[in-house]
Amino acid sequence: MVAEIGPSNVEAAFLLESLAKGIRVDGRGIYDYRRLKISCGPTHGMVEVHLRQTRVLARVSCEVTRPLPDRPTEGIVQFSAELSSMAAPGLESKTAQEVAITRMVERVIRQSRAVDTEALCILAGEKVWLVRLDIHFLDHGGNLIDAASIAAIAALKHFRRPDVTVDGEEAIIHDVRERNPVPLSIHHTPICVSFGFFGGELIVLDTNLLEEQTQVSNFTVTLNAHRELCALNKAGGIPLNPKQIQRCIQIALAKVDEINEKIQEALKACAA
Amino acid sequence: MTRPDRRDAGQIRALHCVLGQLSRADGSAQFAAGDSSVLCGVYGPVDVRVYDEKLDRAHIEVKLRPATGLPNTKDKWTESVIRSTFEREILCHLHPRTLVQINVQVRQDDGAVEAAAINAATLALVDAGIPLRTMVAAATCAVLPGGAIVVDPTLEEAAGAQSVHTFAFGGDTAGGPLHVDSRGDFAMDEYNACYDICATTAERVLAFMRSAVEGKIAKEALLVGAS
């Protein structure tokens, strides 16, 4: 497959010139997010997120398994996200780009302990739920990280697992038709907000593909609905001063509230 | 006979398709039959790896990703089915030393997903403008334990069925099937009955796909006319 070719010099120059005047190529403001569309269903735990061209599908599924020997009372959250050539020509799994994106999302969901793993225990040391989160990148239009984190969190909230009753040493797993399935217990909803830098004081929110290919550095802030910082990520690129980071966090705070509202709205709309 | 979703034995689920949704792929299509839904993106003809390069024709590559988990043996099998079906129908000799890559993503598996994948691939190839000998349409039917034959089975029906048959046909069903996949225990007359049912169903699916493509082209023609 042909390797991805970046934008031409003319395109990049045009982008930078207009950015210097405060204009973005897709007509947004500097701190505007693209139109976010979240669609849930038809099954539980299936959520598709559109950020204009960017499209990410998240699927949550579960099964019963034995717990890890060192954590007998905790369920397992498994995470899988692979870039494939579906999203863009020449994208492949097991590349540095994939590692950068999937590590970030994994860190946000798993290591910030968004899912209550103790609530996934059925019988200590014997049976626990294994919750699997699959993220499929369908279309790469820039800013995959944000779209993936929104899709992941929305899918986890949308998911329902079968109800279980424990009777002594016996665990009965009820069919979803027999008893209403129950939602997962989720501690908090971390959401990524990414910024692109173009040298100087220029900061841009939610980079599209052209901006992402032209940027000199990027920075991802992860916040939850309680306005707590969950993760920060800046992997290389030009150095930033602390003031810029402060500013990014301030902007991210406002955006995370908006995104959370969108997620709630979408979940409510499909529950109705 | 009643089916769990109250369909008649010969009734397929509601079909739905969208063409050209993906911005990066050369052609794409989403094909859904009821809750079974497949997305397909096609690149081609594009640069090929030296190893895969064929001097007289295009190389066809199919990648299928299941809805949950990693690709297993069955997914690899479906990949090879799609490749061998389309290797003959794509006019490969027109694009020597290139690659046509078909990416298939199963969004949701509720039975008959192999047929849905073939249908999605046809639509995506047409959307990408890859020259084809014919449009391919596939259909599935299942023989239930009582001997009743149901078309387009759901996952639940297929799991309880005695045998499941998938056929793919080109534009002319009289020319014989392009792909046959029969699993389970079945008699020859059951097979023949399934063949006939799938042939008529595939014709209907093909008519649906054709109208979807026509609709999209008509819309594009309007846009071109307006500008």
pLDDT tens sequence across B72-127: 999 999 999 999 999 999 999 999 999 999 999 999 999 999 999 999 999 999 99
Determine whether the interchain pair B24/A139 forms a contact, defined as Cβ–Cβ distance below 8 Å. yes
Least reliable range by pLDDT among A225-239, B58-72, B208-222: A225-239
Q: Is the pLDDT of residue A1 over 70?
A: no
Q: Pick B23's closest partner by Cβ from A43, A82, A139.
A: A139
Q: Residue A234 has what pLDDT? A: 87
Instruction: Using pLDDT thresholds of 50, 70 and 90, give the confidence band for residue B172.
Output: confident
- Is the model's pLDDT at B164 over the cut of 80? yes
Could you report the per-residue pLDDT of A112-167, keeping only the tens digit for each?
889 999 999 999 989 999 999 999 999 999 899 999 999 999 999 999 999 999 88
The pLDDT of B191-207, averaged and rounded, is 95
- pLDDT (mean) for A194-215: 89
pLDDT range class, residue A101, cuts 50, 70, 90: confident
B23 vs A: CB within 8 A: yes
The whole-number pLDDT of residue B226 equals: 73
Contact list, A88 vs chain B (CB under 8 Å): 24
pLDDT in tens, B128-154: 999 999 999 999 999 999 899 999 999
Domains, chain B, ranges and CATH? 15-226 (3.30.230.70)
Residue B97, chain A, CB below 8 Å: the answer is no
**Residues contacting B135, CB < 8 A, separation 6+:** B122, B126, B170, B171, B206, B209, B210
Q: pTM to 2 decimals?
A: 0.92
Q: Which tops the pLDDT comparison, B6 or A95? A: B6
**Ordered domains of chain A (ranges, CATH):** 23-271 (3.30.230.70)
The closest of B166, B218, B183 to B33, measured between CA atoms, is: B166
CB neighbour list of residue B225: distance below 8 Å, 6 or more residues apart: none
Taking CB atoms and an 8 Å limit, are B24 and A87 in contact across chains? yes
Tokens of B118: 């073939």
Find the residue in A nearest to B27 (Cα): A86
Q: Which residue of B lies nearest to A88 if distances are taken between CA atoms?
A: B24
Nearest to A134 among B22, B23, B68 (CB): B68
pLDDT for the residue A89: 86
Q: Which residues pair with A164 in a beta bridge?
A: A173
ipTM of the complex: 0.91
What local confidence, expressed as pLDDT, does residue B2 receive? 78
Instruction: Decide if pLDDT at B227 tops 80.
Output: no
- Can you give the pLDDT at residue A58? 95
pLDDT of the residue at A2: 55
pLDDT reported for residue A150:
95
Q: What angle do CA A255, A259, A265 make, to 5 degrees?
A: 145
The total of other beta-carbon atoms located within 10 Å of residue A42's CB is: 14
Mean pLDDT of chain A, nearest integer: 90
3-state DSSP call for residue A218?
strand
First to last CA, chain A: 45
Q: Give the span between the Cα atoms of A116 and A68, in whole angstroms.
A: 16
